[in-house]
Amino acid sequence: MPRRIALLGLAGLLLGSAPALANPLDRGPIADFLNVFRSQAIPRETVAWTGKEKPGTIVVSTRQRRLYYVLGGGAAVRYGVGVGRQGFSWSGTKTVTMKKEWPDWRPPQQMLARRPDLPRYMAGGQDNPLGARALYLGSSLYRIHGSNEPETMGAAVSSGCIRMTNKDVVDLYDRVRVGTKVVVRD
């Protein structure tokens, strides 16, 4: 009898009748693996870098809609990004103060005032606007994060955050440490 109960419990899990457990295809290592195979409109590439920033620095060009991770030796990794739409773009220097994998999302009050239809909370996962990873920038409301809308890369569409494809943000996340300098410029 205990074996039958265990088999019924396993069948319930497989059929989705156990809402307390998250779908492993939605977040975590399996979701990370599946994101590797998604196509990208703006491919990541290593490019020549002539800036004066030290290796390990992130530089975002909102005009180019590109993010550069400075490698040193005259090279940087260039990623396509989505940036703040008109009225929401910004520039300045921040520091990565926290990193999260498959972060939960709570829209800030400023965003809820503009969009009261938004959920107050969304668990991390493929449908979450923060995507697979988030790099939190200082005490600001801004983040560099993944996106469940890869078609927005290369566009000015966000409320100020820097969006990347989930595939790219996982790559950047693995390179970046807390304390990394982030320079956002026009």
Q: What residues are labeled active site?
A: 145, 161
Report d(CA 164, CA 125) in Å as an integer.
15
Q: CB count, 10 Å around CB of 40? A: 15
Report d(CA 168, CA 60) in Å as an integer.
14
Sign, Cα dihedral of 123, 128, 132, 137: negative
Report d(CA 1, CA 153) in Å as an integer.
55
Report d(CA 54, CA 181) in Å as an integer.
9
